[in-house]
Structure 1
């Protein structure tokens, strides 16, 4: 894994390539445009899938990454479909946190039908704790990201209950362009005559934007209270 020259402001941990874009592609682009140093760490290749391959997914990921502002990105190489919060996987992710030193972590929402997603959430939480341990053989110096926020890329038919939403009206079309780059997963395999995954993502963004008084928004959750320096950025 190539380490960026400076620590990350935020690191999005994604179970598979495309989860980061599905859940918070607009927010990633917005943060980058605001000057944040953002990274994405895909835990697995996402393969095998019916229409994909490792080479296809790698190409699609690079194309999608360009659409959301070229955040730093790497793949941890953990096993797809067998992702588990084991000590071995926890150690690998904790080592990545120590080397990347992100101030803020984004993880998948903790409730999901996909075992890889819930395993990823548990891994992020456990590795965050392990990352600060001293007298350890984990590579790198002890480090503890200050906060975890959770994005929604879920396989459950639920209405999200977020702690807050982010206005991504200006980034919405770029996010959809990024999602279309994942043709093998989100375009070519969609049912004819019915709304597909990208349609559902757009509808949800419009729904949350409507509630926030903007065109499009992305929802996020937090297990802990969120402190504000002021109320100036609250949406109408």
Structure 2
């Protein structure tokens, strides 16, 4: 997708295609409903996988993008399964931050079983800092994304306590629809007996919804204080 005409409110940094839908699909849909401009940048193609190809993953990503109604989506084409925190990768991601100028970055949580997710989290932190530096070869003007929140992936077995849980109850069905677009990853040659991987994803969202007295939720962590203008939003 082309660069947004105006800055994004929310930019999701996903290590692979389908990570955004699985981890924060409900948050994306809720944000779009509220009129926010939302984008996703993937670091890798996610390939190779047992039943995918680059062409298949591109088609699946395009279908999921349409379901989510994203304003921006881009893939940096970094190496899948061997993602590294190089200066080139940091520069590429910082360039996206400058071009899209998001108010909030959603990044992978820093502790994860998948090495690509761990590296992606560190890349987000470093690229956020680089994005604000002057006298560099980065495109566009220096920019400091004001806020970064971290999302859980399906690779975590023991979840840390989140800083906040967002109510996505109204959007759970569409979230699941966007995940099903990745047929090669979540349906093809997968067990159809309960619980399937789709059941697992939905049940995790149900658990997080239960923790806040809602139907479904998505959790986030923050290393920084979260400011509120009033307590009204908590009522």
TM-score in same-fold range (> 0.5): yes
Contact between 1:160 and 1:219, CA under 8 Å: does it hold in 2? no
Encode CA deviations 1:32-78: one digit per residue, 9 max, x unaligned.
11010010001111000000001100111111122222342111111
Separation of aligned partners in 2, 1:195 and 1:182: 18
The answer to whether structure 1 residue 137 and structure 2 residue 165 are counterparts is: no
The answer to whether structure 1 residue 85 and structure 2 residue 85 are counterparts is: yes
Structure 1 stretches of 4+ moved >4 Å: none
Contact between 1:26 and 1:68, CA under 8 Å: does it hold in 2? no
What TM-score, normalized to structure 2?
0.96
SS in 1 for 2:218: strand
Encode CA deviations 1:170-192: one digit per residue, 9 max, x unaligned.
10000011111111001114234
The aligned counterpart of 2:27 is 27
The answer to whether structure 1 residue 55 and structure 2 residue 55 are counterparts is: yes
SS in 2 for 1:233: helix
Give the CA deviation at 1:95.
Answer: 1.1
Mapping of residues 202-217 of structure 1, within 5 Å:
202-217=202-217
Going from structure 1 to structure 2, the CA distance change for 1:71 and 1:187 (only over 3 Å counts) comes to farther
Encode CA deviations 1:75-95: one digit per residue, 9 max, x unaligned.
111111121111110011111
- Equivalent pairs, count: 235
The aligned counterpart of 2:159 is 159
Separation of aligned partners in 2, 1:130 and 1:189: 42
Unmatched runs of 5 consecutive residues or more in structure 2? none
Unmatched runs of 5 consecutive residues or more in structure 1? none
The aligned counterpart of 1:218 is 218
Separation of aligned partners in 2, 1:71 and 1:126: 25
Mapping of residues 1-236 of structure 1, within 5 Å:
2-234=2-234
Contact between 1:32 and 1:71, CA under 8 Å: does it hold in 2? no
Separation of aligned partners in 2, 1:156 and 1:9: 27
Contact between 2:154 and 2:201, CA under 8 Å: does it hold in 1? no
Separation of aligned partners in 2, 1:223 and 1:37: 24
Contact between 2:64 and 2:179, CA under 8 Å: does it hold in 1? yes
Contact between 2:80 and 2:116, CA under 8 Å: does it hold in 1? yes
Tell me which moved more, 59-68 or 192-201. 192-201
Separation of aligned partners in 1, 2:84 and 2:18: 19
